[in-house]
Structure 1
């Protein structure tokens, strides 16, 4: 099919960036989701673009392609219908592409605004372009998880936001640039957390919290506290995890938007469950469900928080229930999560599948648990496995050896586990 591509410009850009059809479909869908739109682009959509069956994609799809490739739709080989003006503005005039190679040898791209060729005075349009670069990073995170190249690109974006402050047109623009810098730095921290690089994550979070304070932005602040809670949990500092989650819940934005309050309560529930405080964990889960029920899920919010909603709450519920000794309820919650997490969110679906396997194992159904855990490798085929997922699979294997050490299913899964790790 690739050899018969009519749109050679798009084909060449895909080759340059290392995108296969399925990967480009995922990246465009993730960008759409990050901007509050349905992520409905499929492999078939890409095929239609390449063969020329679709010569002028939908405006939102064109905007996503322009952000990902750093050029106009026309430069990608698309042709607008005669007499029709283009309805998207190319985001690429001040974008620089940073290339890197993943563990599987696939090149991907991150676009963040550059310092050269920008006006002497920085205004709203420059802030918007910085945010577009941030959204592209979040789409990449959803596509393949945290890794050093994403972390590095995020830090570059933060430095540029701070450098641009020297040319800000007003105090308001300076404050907005602090927010953008905080978000870029928090993105770097999140990437380090997902890769289980806790020392770097701590450093980034400390700086992000300072920047969020300078910005006087409660949304940026709650993001940082949410990540602090996850980092503390990763370090097994469970009291600190609860404290950080409660600090997130104390941010003013939770009183204005119950959506953020729900996230803070859910993160608090995980902390209580890990500490062994069953009643507090269940109580916090109830608060999270009530708050989410009051939230307007269609309201515009930053791209970093698009991961949260009923599906993610179900996934967090599975963690809480399993840790307080309710594996049957945890299994049910995992199934609810997997029924709702979008297909293109490979990492999140694979993590929920890991949790499902653990819940099945904790019900002593080792054969089914091994089959479920093996499907994680299938889901992540072609994608590097982030450190956080590797750790969770390691937890599954340790529990498997403890609960069912002598079964054939355990031996077969252990062989698969070692084979997959030797290929990574």
Structure 2
């Protein structure tokens, strides 16, 4: 695989914003210019190519405005170096797009002036990254997020002091770290705006490392952000970009392909496209049929055939195939390892939702109570969302004793304070 070159920051931001080609960005800039009524705002394909080159020129003021408005990031975070040599690392606010928060980890210049750190630094940094990846499943989300975010900040600083292959190795580990932080922010803490910014940063680091499959994983995660917000078009665009990255990888494990289909199913479900979601689940199941000798990347630890079955059960629930959903989810629950508490919370919540949809409030409350037991051990915002959805479905039985007992647990001091803090 040839190494990607050029302005990887701008390219990553362009693709993350949903513009798969340089021409698509040209068209978007033209639309934004017309909307803003900006005179002399025309940008050519040749200009965009220069901006994505290894030595991008500093954009004119009018083009800076268009880029920032279109991509939702300040121009000095898009790989451009101001002519006055300001390499400030201060965060600047995002101007538009899904996120409305600061971009906190600008990458250093793509070519370091000197390699001042030995190659062993990249090896040691990657070892710590692996440790955080394992700790994610055991440590409370706020703690692991704080530590992993600081680790990512440290990696960003180190990147400016590395050269050659060690720089690429360090960038790959940094991309993994940022992906982990984004996952925690999105799934564990329900901070989609912050997570979306992390995914942009992770994609930039993956570009420095020229890690296509890791880039596909980052883009696949980023599709959840608009997908859960009901923005089907943006989610689909990010998934198309993820698949394009995967096609450029040396080899793609079948389970990774299945995961991308599972992401599609989740997004389609959230957007109310249930038939399309079932079709995506079917494609995911087809992808893992047979023997696959392609090794999985070490960082790909969030998906398995059992997790695919959990995706399927949730989709069946949303479609209204309740007996099938119950059977699928019970099989998942039976085979789920005890230490997978976060996933257990989600599956229990879905089983509670099946019972509520079938008009059985007693069974629904019992399952929701089991889910709360898991949450008392390991907080997981996505799991709590499932329980709240169940409670809304139980409103017709709000005066039942089982429902009031569930309310007592949902709104006890500790649970309420944790929910508010998150």
Both structures adopt the same fold (TM-score exceeding 0.5)? yes
Kindly state the Cα deviation for residue 120 of structure 1 after the two structures are TM-superposed.
5.1
1:222 corresponds to = 216
1:301 corresponds to = 297
Asked if the contact 2:126/2:170 (under 8 Å) is kept, the reply is no
Query: 1:239 and 1:295, CA in 2 relative to 1: closer, same or farther beyond 3 A?
Result: farther
Asked if the contact 2:223/2:236 (under 8 Å) is kept, the reply is yes
Q: Distance in 1 between matches of 2:250 and 2:256?
A: 5
| Runs of 5+ consecutive residues of structure 2 not aligned to the other structure | 1-114
Kindly state the Cα deviation for residue 294 of structure 1 after the two structures are TM-superposed.
4.0
Kindly state the Cα deviation for residue 280 of structure 1 after the two structures are TM-superposed.
1.9
Query: 1:129 and 1:312, CA in 2 relative to 1: closer, same or farther beyond 3 A?
Result: same
Asked if the contact 2:352/2:365 (under 8 Å) is kept, the reply is yes
Residues 223-259 of structure 1, C-alpha deviations (whole Å, 9 max, x = no match): 2112212222333334333333343233224963222
Q: Distance in 2 between matches of 1:155 and 1:243?
A: 27
The within-5 A match list for 1:13-412 is 121-123=117-119, 125-144=120-139, 146-147=141-142, 149-168=143-162, 170-193=163-186, 194-250=188-244, 251-252=246-247, 253=249, 256-294=252-290, 296=292, 299-303=295-299, 305-383=300-378, 385-401=379-395, 403-412=396-405
Aligned residues: 300
Residues 306-354 of structure 1, C-alpha deviations (whole Å, 9 max, x = no match): 2211110011111211112222222222112222222112111112111
Query: 1:145 and 1:392, CA in 2 relative to 1: closer, same or farther beyond 3 A?
Result: farther
Residues 251-300 of structure 1, C-alpha deviations (whole Å, 9 max, x = no match): 22496322211000111112222323333222211110111224648934
Query: 1:390 and 1:293, CA in 2 relative to 1: closer, same or farther beyond 3 A?
Result: same
Asked if the contact 2:259/2:284 (under 8 Å) is kept, the reply is yes
Query: 1:277 and 1:360, CA in 2 relative to 1: closer, same or farther beyond 3 A?
Result: same
The 3-state SS of whatever aligns with 1:344 is: coil
Kindly state the Cα deviation for residue 133 of structure 1 after the two structures are TM-superposed.
1.4
Asked if the contact 1:357/1:369 (under 8 Å) is kept, the reply is yes
Query: 1:417 and 1:365, CA in 2 relative to 1: closer, same or farther beyond 3 A?
Result: same
Query: 1:350 and 1:416, CA in 2 relative to 1: closer, same or farther beyond 3 A?
Result: same
The 3-state SS of whatever aligns with 1:143 is: coil
Query: 1:162 and 1:248, CA in 2 relative to 1: closer, same or farther beyond 3 A?
Result: same
2:44 corresponds to = none
Q: Distance in 2 between matches of 1:206 and 1:423?
A: 31
Q: Distance in 2 between matches of 1:400 and 1:163?
A: 51
Q: Distance in 1 between matches of 2:263 and 2:218?
A: 13
Kindly state the Cα deviation for residue 166 of structure 1 after the two structures are TM-superposed.
4.0
Superposition RMSD in Å: 2.5
Q: Distance in 1 between matches of 2:321 and 2:135?
A: 35
Q: What is the TM-score of this pair, normalised by structure 1?
A: 0.65
Query: 1:326 and 1:145, CA in 2 relative to 1: closer, same or farther beyond 3 A?
Result: farther
Runs of 4+ in 1 over 4 A off after TM superposition: none
Asked if the contact 1:270/1:320 (under 8 Å) is kept, the reply is yes
The 3-state SS of whatever aligns with 2:344 is: helix
Q: Distance in 1 between matches of 2:210 and 2:134?
A: 26
